[in-house]
Amino acid sequence: MSVAPPKVGVMTFGDDRPFEWERVFAAMTVPRHEDLLRELRQWPLEVVASDNVARTRTEVDQQVDRLVADGAEAFLAHTPCWAPPNLVVRGVQRAGLPTALVSNRDPSTHGMVGLLGAGGALDQLGWPHIRVREELGGRARERLLPFARAAAVVRRLRGSSCGLFGGRSLGIDTGSVDPMQWRRLFGVDVQTFDQLEIVRRADGVEGDRVAAIVDWLEETAASIAYDCSSLTPERLELQVRCYLATLDLVDEQGLDFAAVKCMPELSTDFVPQCLSACLLPMGTPAVAGEAREPFMLACEADADGALTMQMLKLASQGTPAFFADVSYIIDSGDLLCLPNCGAFCGWYAARSDDAARNMGAIELRPANRKGGGATTYFRAAAGPVTLARLARKDGRYHLLVAPGEIVTPAPETTDLFDRARSRLPLPTAFVRLRGDPEELVQQLSANHISGVAGDVTETLTYVAQLCDIPIQTLL
């Protein structure tokens, strides 16, 4: 699963003095411009650039306008040699994009002088940027690729839409948000709906669509523990109807991610939305055999949790993100226990882009809720993970990031946790952090956390910088 690669606009600036350009700088600048474009086009990026070095105001304006028109999400201002700082500033301001100044370590080029001349001018303007003074390859890639991905995250969040189904759930204040603060910081619109719209629409979902998903679940799930009271075929069918109704609302309203209240009304008087919370983020097809992009859905109307999930999905180039409770620490192994109340992004059951393979590791068990239906049960598959949470402290957003590893502990390690949860076994990820889990307890400003496979710490660091929000990384 993937999203489109970051689109990067690249411009090389050159000395505007004809004599110095022809006598000294052209021979060093032009080959380095060509080398940079050749290198960047080997990376997982879409590169937009002119073949020519920009040396005049007209050339700068023309090249910038083309980059912007082509949808560039980040601006790489390349000064391999000396270039007039005011030209660089002109390009940066006209582009209006997250900016990286790029130069080299060669003492013959005067590249560092050009880099610092432009960087100093941008500092005086208060224009945020990063500076990369590296030869092509290794360390340049290590810095520029996460920056480009972060720029794409920020640009793609802007103009996106979050669907909020229902209001505050179970008194959880940290899930509620100020929609206008979101607009100002992230450019995200919040569309609110009554969550009863899901069950109202569920009744009208076509029977053949419902039957296709029910059949698919019965064919692919590890087990479905039907009983005579809670998890009946009728209750499972209603959950599938809710899943398909939610998909229809997502498509009709043009939503990019969402959060649903669920408890207590839906889980008590209808069915819990656990199936939707498992299948939607996994990218399960609306109809069996039909591919669909993962759609991030958080439980308990936790909008900040949903936004964190979407941020993680974008930062990881489309990998599904999960949503969980921070429930317990197993001190003997310094393990975080991250269950959820009945659903967990199903991709983590097997870490597969094949939905059927993931379902093969997922059990559907009777829900311990008055409304009945199914909850999902599995242990998240092992692999690297980055946990994160956007939350407010005294009204200002902060980002907490905690990289680590999902592990498969020995049964004796999880025995106490399993016995304590035996009445309500839940889907769970066991995470060993790089940092101290007790520090996470002290710093986390919510009872929920989100996570994504892999290590996107560097990208999230740049995301926070571009959004002008503090970040704390537990390493």
Of 3-12, 218-227, 378-387, 408-417, minimum mean pLDDT range: 408-417
Cis peptide before 179 (omega within 30 of 0): no
In contact, 358 and 350? CB cutoff 8 Å: yes
Across the strands, what pairs with 474? none
pLDDT band at 444 (very low <50, low <70, confident <90, very high): very high
pLDDT band at 286 (very low <50, low <70, confident <90, very high): low
- Examine the pLDDT at 414 and tell me if it is beyond 90: no
Express each pLDDT in 345-356 by its tens digit: 999 999 999 999
pLDDT value of residue 280 = 96
Q: How confident is the model over 368-387, as a mean pLDDT?
A: 95
pLDDT band at 154 (very low <50, low <70, confident <90, very high): very high
Ramachandran class of 211: left when φ > 0, alpha when ψ lies in -120 to 50, beta otherwise: alpha
Measure Cα distances from 373 to 50, 60, 285, 367, 419 in Å.
58, 62, 21, 5, 23
Q: How confident is the model over 379-384, as a mean pLDDT?
A: 97
pLDDT band at 5 (very low <50, low <70, confident <90, very high): very high
Nearest alpha-carbon partner for 115 in 135, 136, 101: 101
Would you list the domain boundaries of the chain? 7-157, 161-473
pLDDT value of residue 362 = 97
- Examine the pLDDT at 438 and tell me if it is beyond 70: yes
- Examine the pLDDT at 423 and tell me if it is beyond 80: no
Express each pLDDT in 189-238 by its tens digit: 999 999 999 999 999 999 999 999 999 999 999 999 999 899 999 999 99
pLDDT value of residue 313 = 98
In contact, 440 and 402? CB cutoff 8 Å: yes
Nearest alpha-carbon partner for 160 in 3, 357, 389: 3
- Which one is the CATH code of 161-473: 3.40.50.300, 1.10.10.370, 3.20.14.10, 3.20.20.70? 3.20.14.10
In whole angstroms, give the CA distance from residue 145 to residue 45: 8
pLDDT band at 333 (very low <50, low <70, confident <90, very high): confident
Q: How confident is the model over 57-65, as a mean pLDDT?
A: 98
- Examine the pLDDT at 281 and tell me if it is beyond 80: yes
Q: What is this structure's pTM?
A: 0.95
- Examine the pLDDT at 264 and tell me if it is beyond 70: yes
Q: In what order do the strands lie in the sheet with 223-224?
A: 223-224, 363-366, 374-377
pLDDT value of residue 196 = 95
- Examine the pLDDT at 118 and tell me if it is beyond 80: yes
In contact, 284 and 346? CB cutoff 8 Å: yes
In contact, 220 and 359? CB cutoff 8 Å: yes
pLDDT value of residue 471 = 98
Ramachandran class of 454: left when φ > 0, alpha when ψ lies in -120 to 50, beta otherwise: left
Please determine, looking at this structure, whether the domain spanning 7-157 carries the CATH number 3.40.50.1070. Answer: yes
Q: How confident is the model over 248-277, as a mean pLDDT?
A: 96
pLDDT value of residue 288 = 63
Q: How confident is the model over 57-85, as a mean pLDDT?
A: 97
- Examine the pLDDT at 145 and tell me if it is beyond 80: yes
Percent of the chain with pLDDT over 70: 99
- Examine the pLDDT at 1 and tell me if it is beyond 70: no
pLDDT value of residue 289 = 63
- Examine the pLDDT at 284 and tell me if it is beyond 70: yes
Contact residues for 383 (Cβ-Cβ < 8 A; gap 6+):
351, 405, 406, 453
- Average pLDDT, rounded, for the chain: 95
